[in-house]
Amino acid sequence: MTRDPRALTLRVITCLGGFYFFLYFVTPESLIEQSGVKHAHEAISNGFIAVGSMAIGLGIINILMSHGMRVVFVKKGWQYSVALIVGMFLMIGVTIAQWRTTHGLSDDIKKVQVIGDFAGRIVEDAKAEPGKHRSYAPHGTLPPLRDRVAALEQYAQATLDGNAHSEVAAAGAETDQSLEQLRSEYAQGVTALRQVLEQLQGRSWESLDTDGEAVLTSILQQAARVGSTYAIVKRNESSSWLSSRLYDFLYNGLFNHLGASMFALLGVYIAAAAYRAFRIQSVESALMMTAALIVMLGQISFGKMLYSEMPAIRQWLLEVPNSAAFRAIRLGAGVAGLMLAIRMWLSIESAKRGGKES
Amino acid sequence: MNGLEHATPTVIVLLVVALGLLYREFIRIQRGFHHTIRRIPGVDAIEGAVGRCAEQGRAVSFTTALTDVGPVLYACLGVLQSVAKKVAQYKLKLLVPQYSPEAMAVVEDSVREAYSDAGKASLYDPESIMFLSSEQFAFASGYMGLMHREKPGAALLFGSFAAESLVLSEAGQQVGARQVAASVSPEQVAFFICTCDYTLIGEELFGASAYLGRDPVQVATVAAQDRFKLLLVLLIVIGVVSATFVSLVPSMAWFRPLDLLSVGWEALVP
């Protein structure tokens, strides 16, 4: 046993965590499903992801510490550190602003989509066998159909009368014709949806008959149409907002393109590396050169012109010796990884590597 | 075992065998048995590269690139600790650029421990472990910049790599660093062979840690993995021979001994 309580705690947690995942792995899937552990497992796995994501804070702290020190003590290259820190905070700020706007937007879009989902669920539950409905019922039984339809109507009217939807419908003439057309489509859709909602009134709704089902299905379809048009209108509108434009400029315009530029460097580097590798200095490099030449010639029509079997030889090289080597490397690394994983799980360390065995 | 969410009975048997082999090797070590690991030129080159840095007064760079917390990182840490001890003894500058913030915390701890083991705890510089970015090509460009600014004499690239491998190793080439790479990603091995002085392929990365540290527990793990690999090779040979035999003698089509390995739970659990 180790005497260091911190190390002991870490070992116990590692061992228990490993044991849980080991048990989950070796238990047959049918048994897992029968016992109902699957849902709990998803929650536990998400918990691990959440713990892992906390580590991003460590990265930010490290950047602030190392580059902050460089700026404070005006070390060599401090200007780059300033650019990095400013860039980081700018990106964080813009991303938060963008997230807030898209989050609000998604909520608005979801509200309209719920109208259709609710109508669809009412039909589904009414047609289901008793006790087999999909909707959640706290006491096992769902409210009567009449109450559910009334709730649907009330929710739909309140949503369509809400600020966000009124704004879209009442917006004035736009310079962007496509946006204007979308708005007009949205207004027409809302009018049609209101008309269908009116049909909910004046019915008994004691049970679901064919006409009632047709009305609810029509609400489902109309709400889906309105929801998708609303989503397009709002997304088009939001693209002109400052936060979206800044995010678009920084992320899509700058960051992605810089990444693509780095990737493009690979083309140059592959040529430089190939030049070095193709200098025949030994038997191995001669073999490598020959294999590369065959693969390259087999890839192009010129190779086929030289020798008609060239593509077949290329294919054989890739599928047989190359695949065999890949599999051998993967097998070796996989077995080594497995053994090391077992050692990590059981915290088997010698005293000189942090084991502090007593 | 990609995509295998639950073990089949065969996998469980193989896991038990793996555990048994590990246990056997640890027991043998406790009884004083010593294994030897064959020389790997690439691993010897690590010590040579660090020594060269000491002669030239240049920094040593060690990156675990895209490696996340897991067995590969753990294997890299063994090498890193050994390198960090040498760096501490020679009073050199160590650069450990990081991609994953989670791995960075573990790496930081390991390097600090190595300095302390070398009796040079006061020389440990927390700034030597620097987080660059957790975006692949942003990390690659940060690494390139670091190489060109610091011009290290040795660049050690250990761990998991993807498309950025060539960018990293070319950056080391450009500044004239002696480079040793070790990757478990077979696709990147070819790039490293072209650009680095020495390349450790696949499991050699795991062996390097044991070879450098001469740690009995690590050596025992390598011995157990070799025996387990031998067992898998034996199974492959049985499969090849039986398949060849069946193709030559079609009347013996029932002779498929390795079919037993693919038996699922449904055959055992009613």
Q: Does B137 contact A259 at a Cβ distance shorter than 8 Å?
A: yes
pLDDT in the model for residue B164: 92
- Average pLDDT, stretch A300-311? 93
The verdict on B71 touching A (C-beta cutoff 8 Å) is yes
- Between A353 and A194, whose confidence is greater? A194
pLDDT in the model for residue A357: 38
- Average pLDDT, stretch A168-180? 62
> Among all residues of chain A, which has the CA nearest to that of B200?
A329
pLDDT in the model for residue B6: 82
Q: Does A263 contact B206 at a Cβ distance shorter than 8 Å?
A: no
- Residue A25, min C-alpha distance to chain B (Å): 5
- Average pLDDT, stretch A306-313? 94
E strands present in chain B: 60-65, 94-98, 129-131, 154-160, 178-183, 198-201
Nearest Cβ partner for B104 among A62, A335, A354 = A62
Phi, psi of A354 (to 5 degrees): 75, 5
The candidate with the shortest Cα–Cα distance to B44, out of B261, B154, B198, B226, is: B198
pLDDT in the model for residue B1: 41
Q: Measure the CA–CA gap between A330 and A317, rounded to whole angstroms.
A: 18
Q: pLDDT band at residue A356, thresholds of 50, 70 and 90?
A: very low
- Between A240 and A314, whose confidence is greater? A314
The verdict on B48 touching A (C-beta cutoff 8 Å) is no
Q: Measure the CA–CA gap between B199 and B185, rounded to whole angstroms.
A: 12
- Between A351 and B250, whose confidence is greater? B250
Q: Does A266 contact B163 at a Cβ distance shorter than 8 Å?
A: yes
* Coil vs helix vs strand at B181: strand
Q: pLDDT band at residue A170, thresholds of 50, 70 and 90?
A: low
Q: What angle do CA B14, B20, B26 make, to 5 degrees?
A: 140
Q: Is the pLDDT of residue A280 over 90?
A: no
Q: How far is CA A348 from CA A256, A342, A345, B35, in A?
A: 44, 9, 8, 18
Q: pLDDT band at residue A333, thresholds of 50, 70 and 90?
A: very high
- Between A285 and B129, whose confidence is greater? B129
Q: Measure the CA–CA gap between A288 and B211, rounded to whole angstroms.
A: 29
pLDDT in the model for residue B160: 92
Nearest Cβ partner for A329 among B167, B186, B228 = B186
pLDDT in the model for residue B90: 95
- Average pLDDT, stretch B231-238? 92
Q: Measure the CA–CA gap between B196 and B169, rounded to whole angstroms.
A: 7
- Average pLDDT, stretch B261-265? 78
* Beta carbons within 8 Å of B28's beta carbon, 6+ residues apart: B220
Q: Is the pLDDT of residue A354 over 50?
A: no
What are B181's strand-pairing partners?
A: B157, B199
pLDDT in the model for residue A62: 83
- Average pLDDT, stretch B247-255? 86
- B141-196: per-residue pLDDT in tens? 999 999 999 999 999 999 999 999 999 999 999 999 999 999 988 889 989 988 99
